[in-house]
Amino acid sequence: MKIRKGDRVRVIAGKDGVAGHEGVVMFALPEQEKVIVEGAGMVKRHQRQTRQTQQAGIIDKDMPIHVSNVMLICKACGPTRVGYAIDEGGKKFRVCRKCGEELESN
């Protein structure tokens, strides 16, 4: 997967106003090709007070977003597509498709 935990991303598509949201990837779910972005894709669920929870109100739950709906943010040029390059040692690393800068996780 091109997006990893710790990446700063912008959500480019999605429901409930998450499009345009920027945040850090909290969890990556490679099997589902989804990520959980801090503060994005919140589902607000009203919950009635019960003896079990002792808490009433709105519960926020982070929803996974498909990686095709987020773009990695390059420090130099903003949201960008991710490419790959290989260094002298044969190690693959991610680069910005626009400016060629290496993209590092925070």
Shortest separation between residue 95's beta carbon and Zn ion, angstroms: 8
Shortest separation between residue 11's beta carbon and Zn ion, angstroms: 19
Tell me the CB-side half-sphere exposure of residue 48, using CA atoms within 13 A.
1
Contact 82, 89 (CB under 8 A): no
* Residue number, 29 or 82, with CB nearest to Zn ion: 82
Spatial CB neighbours of 38, under 8 Å, sequence gap ≥ 6: 23, 24, 25, 26, 62
* Residue number, 36 or 71, with CB nearest to Zn ion: 71
User: Which residues bind to Zn ion, rule: CB under 5 A?
Assistant: 74, 76-77, 96, 98-99, 101
Shortest separation between residue 99's beta carbon and Zn ion, angstroms: 3
* Residue number, 18 or 103, with CB nearest to Zn ion: 103
Under DSSP, the state recorded for 102 is B
